[in-house]
Amino acid sequence: MAKKVLVLGEVRDGALRNVSFEAIAAAKKIADGGEVVGALIGDQVAQLAGNLIEYGADRVVVVQHPHLKSYTSDGYSQAVLAINDQVKPDAIVLGHTSLGKDLSPKIASRLQSGLISDVTEIECTGDDALFIRPIYSGKAFEKVKIKDGVVFVTIRPNNIAPIEQDSNRAGEVVELSVDIQNLRTIIKEVVRKASTGVDLSEAKVIVAGGRGVKSEDGFEPLKELANLLGGAVGASRGACDAEYCDYSLQIGQTGKVVTPDLYIAAGISGAIQHLAGMSNSKVIVAINKDPEANIFKVADYGIVGDLFEVIPLLIEEFKALKINS
Amino acid sequence: MNIFVLVKRTFDTEEKIVIQNGKIQEDGAEFIINPYDEYAIEEAIQVRDAKGGKVVVVTIGGEDAEKQLRTALAMGADEAVLINTEDDLDELDQGAAAYILAEYLKDKDADLILAGNVAIDGGTGQVGPRVADLLGINYVTTITKLEIDGTNVKIVRDIEGDSEIIETSLPLLVTAQQGLNEPRYPSLPGIMKAKKKPLAELELDDLDIDEDDVELKIETVEIFLPPQKSAGRILEGELSAQVKELVNLLHSEAKVV
């Protein structure tokens, strides 16, 4: 049965995040021939509405307000609930991002609905949409569904392919006026720490270092390689505990769970907690001096060697590849 | 200050997951306090030590969860509450858990509620924010720093590797991110003291909750293990030749660069 699905387009640094296009693709699947409505929330964001339509939204509802310049759960929930009241969707899709994780439980609480978080795959059989999501940080998976009420899900970045952009697609864009008030949180400042500007959860390539990196400076070649490949730098708990890097880079059962196209593990032994956080990556490369290291058990390709020799060589080779292609 | 910490008993991170008859096998598994909840407990203790008041740790679960509550008491929490749903409910979802916790907390005059930002088993991160919403109080998730001055609160929050500096006020619910603090290990005197600290056990009846009020919205259809990843190729030869081959494989075979 055709459903009407609402998708929140998430804006970061003046552009829509890739996960929002993935969310539209997810919404299309759930909609089963029904309408996909994009929602855009922010201060000055209306100009991005066309982009949501190019990626498959049938129409877009925009809420703009000076109080929506920065994300707050109070401000954004008022906007989403107002859009929800107007659109009356059968399903809602958000990205499972920092914003999506913070906002979605509040909306679900208000709507008294179930919420399926961190979905990696959608199966539609007849009337039911079934959602697959990792549990135990990817050591297992569950297939779940919403029993009744609105079908509300957040999708994990990098798992559901977006629909190809089509600049000929057209759709209606309407602005909805909402009075955003009573914000209980004031955002004073955002301090940028993510070194390459590519978010770990959305990165297509991750270069991660472990204890073998040996020092804070030891991360430099990893950063260079990540930059070259347009990726992000990650770390094992060992490297974080040893204070070689910030905990925000930690990948594993505590830390982030990531599924990039390419995961390069350098000087990481591969503790079970770390494997839980990255073993569902599409291609894994392990570089480690110890041929017995656990990480080789999940790696597609392994090089036994010193990362400080291998990474610079890799940088050279990737540079050569870039020039030649 | 009335400080509450929402904790969950979870599988030890060392555990492998075994599925039998469609369910995750719990027999013989080691259980711990959800690691993110440990940060919440530690922070609660530090806030209490600085500002006074008491720390109450709360969990929903069965008798087995007493062990984790005793650990929290041994770390330094003052009281523990086990909301035992074993007899009343077979399953819980996030909405239901939040409803039960909010029903318990609603008349407790909480100034500060702390929780982990996510549990490493279910991994939804929903319960904290849902509880805050049901109580009508503000929440801030994934915090890495908390400073309280009177009722003013200054927070540093992790947003995907960047830091957001936030001002808000009590009453407040926060969820802990790694890096917030270094959770202490229970000391021997702490463990001894914990045995005498109050640990209350409540059932849904005690909270005036009817079983039928706890409505589950999510149904689990299946639980399964991911396909076993087989070990791949260890490259051989001169290191520079290995690297050349690797880049070639990533480009032409795996097509990821």
Evaluate whether residue A196 is within a structural domain: no
Q: Check residue B130 and give its pLDDT.
A: 98
Q: Check residue A1 and give its pLDDT.
A: 81
DSSP state of B111: S
User: What is the average pLDDT value for chain B, to the nearest integer?
Assistant: 95
Tell whether the model's pLDDT for residue A202 goes beyond 90.
no
Chain B hits for A188, Cβ within 8 Å = 165-167
Q: Tell me the residue type at A93.
A: V
Instruction: Indicate the residue of B11, B126, B226 with minimum beta-carbon distance to A117.
Output: B126
Do A25 and A86 sit in the same domain of this protein? yes
Do A155 and A209 sit in the same domain of this protein? no
Do A287 and A153 sit in the same domain of this protein? no
How far does A213 lie from chain B, in Å, by closest CA? 18
Tell whether the model's pLDDT for residue B198 goes beyond 90.
yes
ipTM attached to this prediction: 0.94
Evaluate whether residue A183 is within a structural domain: no
Q: Tens digit of pLDDT for each residue in A74-119?
A: 999 999 999 999 999 999 999 999 999 999 999 999 999 999 999 9
- For each of the domains in chain B, give its residue range(s) and CATH number, in order of start: 2-213 (3.40.50.620)
Q: Check residue A194 and give its pLDDT.
A: 61
Closest CA to B175 of A129, A105, A222, A267: A105
Instruction: Indicate the residue of B165, B229, B247 with minimum beta-carbon distance to A189.
Output: B165
Domain limit, last residue, from A175, A194, A216: A175
Evaluate whether residue A72 is within a structural domain: yes
Most confident of A75-84, A190-199, B12-21, B228-237: A75-84
Name the residue in chain A with its Cα closest to that of B230.
A298
Chain B hits for A146, Cβ within 8 Å = 217-219
pLDDT range class, residue B160, cuts 50, 70, 90: confident
Q: Tens digit of pLDDT for each residue in A142-175?
A: 999 999 999 999 999 999 999 999 999 999 999 9
Q: Tens digit of pLDDT for each residue in A264-287?
A: 999 999 999 999 999 989 999 999
Q: Check residue A152 and give its pLDDT.
A: 98
pLDDT range class, residue B161, cuts 50, 70, 90: confident
Q: Tens digit of pLDDT for each residue in A115-145?
A: 999 999 999 877 789 999 999 988 999 999 9
Do A16 and A131 sit in the same domain of this protein? yes
Known binder of ligand: residue A24? no
Evaluate whether residue A11 is within a structural domain: yes
Total number of domains in chain A: 2
Can you tell me the distance from the alpha carbon of A10 to that of A201, in angstroms, rounded to the nearest whole number? 14
Q: Tens digit of pLDDT for each residue in B60-92?
A: 999 999 999 999 999 999 999 999 999 899 889
Do A44 and A145 sit in the same domain of this protein? yes
Compute the average pLDDT of residues A56-65.
98
Do A209 and A299 sit in the same domain of this protein? yes
Torsion sign, CA atoms A264, A270, A271, A275? positive
Q: Tens digit of pLDDT for each residue in A250-268?
A: 999 888 889 999 999 999 9
At A7, list the tokens: 């998708």
**A272 has a chain B CB within 8 A of its CB:** yes
Would you call A282 and B165 a contact, using CB atoms and an 8 Å cutoff? Answer: no
Do A47 and A150 sit in the same domain of this protein? yes
Tell whether the model's pLDDT for residue A195 goes beyond 80.
no
Q: Check residue A119 and give its pLDDT.
A: 97
For B21, residues 6+ apart whose C-beta sits below 8 A from its C-beta are none
Give CB contacts under 8 A, 24+ apart, made by A312-319.
A312/A221, A313/B239, A313/B240, A313/B243, A314/A225, A314/A264, A314/B243, A314/B246, A314/B247, A315/A221, A315/A224, A315/A225, A315/A228, A316/B243, A317/B243, A317/B244, A317/B246, A317/B247, A318/A225, A318/A228, A318/A229, A318/B247, A318/B257, A319/A228
How far does B166 lie from chain A, in Å, by closest CA? 5
Do A210 and A144 sit in the same domain of this protein? no
Burial class (CB in 10 A: 0-12, 13-18, 19+), A125: exposed
- Sheet with A205-209, edge to edge strand ranges: A232-235, A205-209, A262-266, A283-288, A301-304, B233-234
Do A212 and A157 sit in the same domain of this protein? no
At A49, list the tokens: 């509405």
Can you tell me the distance from the alpha carbon of A211 to that of B54, in angstroms, rounded to the nearest whole number? 39
Tell whether the model's pLDDT for residue B232 goes beyond 90.
no
Evaluate whether residue A52 is within a structural domain: yes
For B242, residues 6+ apart whose C-beta sits below 8 A from its C-beta are A303, A305, A310, B235, B236
Evaluate whether residue A232 is within a structural domain: yes
Greater pLDDT, B161 or B238 = B238
DSSP state of B246: H
At B164, list the tokens: 């957001």
Do A168 and A210 sit in the same domain of this protein? no
Closest CA to A279 of A267, A291, A296, A293: A296
With a pLDDT cut of 90, the percent of chain B lying above it is 90
CATH number at residue A253: 3.40.50.1220
Q: How far is CA A61 from CA A13, A171, A174, A178, A279, in A?
A: 20, 11, 5, 12, 38
Chain A hits for B128, Cβ within 8 Å = 105
Q: Check residue A126 and give its pLDDT.
A: 75
What is the gyration radius of the CA atoms in chain A, in angstroms? Answer: 21
Do A37 and A171 sit in the same domain of this protein? yes
Evaluate whether residue A191 is within a structural domain: no
B189: left (phi over 0), alpha (psi -120 to 50) or beta: alpha
Range of the domain at A298: 205-324
Closest CA to B217 of B129, B118, B93, B63: B93
CATH number at residue A170: 3.40.50.620
At B26, list the tokens: 């719990």
B112-116 vs B2-6, strand pairing mode: parallel
Instruction: Indicate the residue of A101, A205, A318 with minimum beta-carbon distance to B247.
Output: A318
Do A56 and A151 sit in the same domain of this protein? yes
Chain B hits for A273, Cβ within 8 Å = 13-14
Domain limit, last residue, from A175, A193, A219: A175
Compute the average pLDDT of residues A202-221.
96
Q: Check residue B171 and give its pLDDT.
A: 98
Instruction: Indicate the residue of B141, B163, B218 with minimum beta-carbon distance to A101.
Output: B141
Chain A hits for B257, Cβ within 8 Å = 205, 229, 262, 318, 321
Closest CA to A71 of A44, A95, A41, A94: A41
B35's enclosing H/E stretch is: helix B35-51
Evaluate whether residue A186 is within a structural domain: no
Tell whether the model's pLDDT for residue B125 goes beyond 90.
yes
Q: Check residue B212 and give its pLDDT.
A: 87
B20's enclosing H/E stretch is: strand B19-20
Known binder of ligand: residue A280? no
Would you call A136 and B11 a contact, using CB atoms and an 8 Å cutoff? Answer: yes
Which residues of A, range 238-257, sit inside 8 Å of B by Cβ? 240, 246-250, 253-255, 257
